[in-house]
Amino acid sequence: MNVFITGNSSGLGLGLTEALMDRDAIVWGMSRTGCALKPKFDDVLRDRQQDLGKLNTIEEGLDRLLSDCLRLDLVILNAGILGRIQEIAHTDVHDLEHMMRVNVWSNKVILDWLIERQLPVTQVVAISSGAAVNMSYGWGGYSLSKAALNNLVRLYAPEMPNTHLTAFAPGLVDTGMQDYLCEEVDSDEFPSTQKLKDARGTEDMPKPREAADRILDLLDTLRSDFDSGEFVDIRKM
Ligand SMILES: NC(=O)c1ccc[n+]([C@@H]2O[C@H](COP(=O)([O-])OP(=O)(O)OC[C@H]3O[C@@H](n4cnc5c(N)ncnc54)[C@H](OP(=O)(O)O)[C@@H]3O)[C@@H](O)[C@H]2O)c1
C-alpha cells in the first residue's frame, strides 16, 4: 500500500504513520519538523521537511518527495493548526489567512498537483473536525477553515472521478492540540472546552496510535458506504 500523508511529525499523523508501517505500507510524509520514526526496513518511510504554509514551495516539494511514486492507494491530508481559542472579532485577519493556507489551501495545491501529474489515487481522506459544523464560541478561525476544507473536498469529488474523497472528523484524539485546549483555555470563558477536559484520559479521547488504527480500519467502509465528497464524523458511523 502506498500512502502520502501530511503532518506526520506528531499527533494523529505520527500515529497513522506508525500504524501504516505496521500494516506494511510505504509512507511518504511531509511536515516542518520531519517524522522521527525509525522504520524496520529502508525505504518504507520517505520524509520531507516542508512548510505547508508556504504555498509556492509545495509543488517543488511534492516533485522531489514523490518523484519515484507511480500510484497512491491513500492520501491523508492531516496537517492542521488550531490557532487560539478566542472571539472571532478579536482574531487578527492575518492569523486567519495563515490558518487557511495551512488547513485549506495547501490541500488544494496538493490535490491540483496529483491531478496535474495524473498520479492514480484510490482514496483521499482529509482530516476535518466536528468544529467544521459546530461553530462553537471561540473556535472561529479553526471552524471556518475546517468548514472550508469540507467544501473543498465536496468540490473536488466530481473533478476526481477515479478517486474516493472524504472529509473525515476523527473525534477527540489526545495530541498536542488537546494539551493547549485542556490545559490553557479557560472553560468558564469558552464552555465548549469543558467536554474535552472531561474526555481526557477516557476512551472518548484515545491516544494517537489507537485513533489511527480505528481510522485505518474504517477506510473500506468510507469507500463502500459513503459518497465521494461527503463529510463523515467517526462518532456518527
Ligand atoms: N486532536 C484532536 O482531538 C483533533 C480533533 C479533530 C481534528 N483534528 C485534526 O487532526 C489533524 C492532526 O492534528 P493533531 O491533533 O495530531 O495535532 P498536532 O499533534 O499538532 O499535529 C499537527 C501536525 O500538522 C503539522 N503541521 C502544522 N503546521 C504545518 C505546516 N505549516 N507545514 C507542515 N506541517 C504542519 C505538524 O507538523 P510540524 O509542526 O512538524 O510542521 C504536525 O505533524 C489536524 O488537521 C487537526 O485539525 C484533531
Residues 211-224 pLDDT 10s:
999 999 999 999 99
Q: pLDDT band for position 98 (50/70/90)?
A: very high
CATH 3.40.640.10 fits 2-173+208-236, yes or no: no
Separation CA 205–CA 197 (nearest Å)? 10
Residue nearest atom 33 in ligand 1 by C-alpha distance:
31
Q: pLDDT band for position 59 (50/70/90)?
A: very high
Question: Which of 141, 54, 43, 150 minimizes the C-alpha distance to 102?
Answer: 54
3-class DSSP state of 124: strand
Cα(first)–Cα(last) distance of the chain, in Å?
Answer: 25
pLDDT at 41 over 90: no
* Residue 103 confidence (pLDDT): 98
Question: Which of 145, 152, 168, 143 minimizes the C-alpha distance to 236?
Answer: 168
Residue nearest atom 14 in ligand 1 by C-alpha distance:
11
**How many Å lie between the centroid of ligand 1 and the Cα of residue 69?**
24
**How many Å lie between the centroid of ligand 1 and the Cα of residue 5?**
11
Q: Which residues line ligand 1 (CB under 6 A)?
A: 7-13, 31-33, 50-53, 78-81, 102, 127, 129, 169-170, 172-173, 175-178
**Domain locations along the chain:** 2-173+208-236
pLDDT, the chain, mean: 97
pLDDT tens digits, residue range 103-144?
A: 999 999 999 999 999 999 999 999 999 999 999 999 999 999
Ligand 1 atom at shortest distance from the alpha carbon of 14: 43
**How many Å lie between the centroid of ligand 1 and the Cα of residue 54?**
16
In this structure, what C-alpha cell is assigned to residue 112? 491540483
Q: Which of 28, 31, 129, 192 to mutate to test the pocket of ligand 1 (most atoms within 8 A of CB)?
A: 31
Question: Which of 167, 171, 181 minimizes the C-alpha distance to 226?
Answer: 167
Question: Does the predicted TM-score (pTM) go above 0.95?
Answer: yes
**How many Å lie between the centroid of ligand 1 and the Cα of residue 79?**
4
